[in-house]
Structure 1
C-alpha cells in the first residue's frame, strides 16, 4: 500500500508495479533487491529535495524539518 500524509490515496485498490531492474548505459545496476554496481560508480548529486508548502512554512519558522 502506498502511504500519504493525507490519509488517502487516489491509487486505492490498484496493484502497484515496481521496477524489476535498473540499467545504466547497458549495465545492470540493481536486480531482485541486489545492487550490482561497482563501488565508486556514479556521482552523488546533493540537493535539498522538494518540500510541500506546509513543510516549507514550518521549516522557515523553526529552522528545522
Structure 2
C-alpha cells in the first residue's frame, strides 16, 4: 500500500472491515493483520491505527 500515512491507515482499516465482513476468520484477514503490523514496525502507520486495525481483525476472527 502506498500513499500518505493517513491514507495507508484508512486503507488498511477499510480492507480489514471488508475482509472481515466477507469471510470472517480467513487467511486473507490474518495476512492483512500481519502486513499492518510490519507497516507499523517500519513507521508507516501509527500505533493507534495499528491498534484499530488489529481490533477489527480480532473482532471478525473471533466474534462474540
TM-score bin (small chain)? under 0.3
Higher helix share: 2
The TM-score, its normalising length taken from structure 1, stands at: 0.21
Larger Rg: 1
TM-score by length of 2: 0.22
RCO comparison, higher one (Cα < 8 Å, 6+): 2
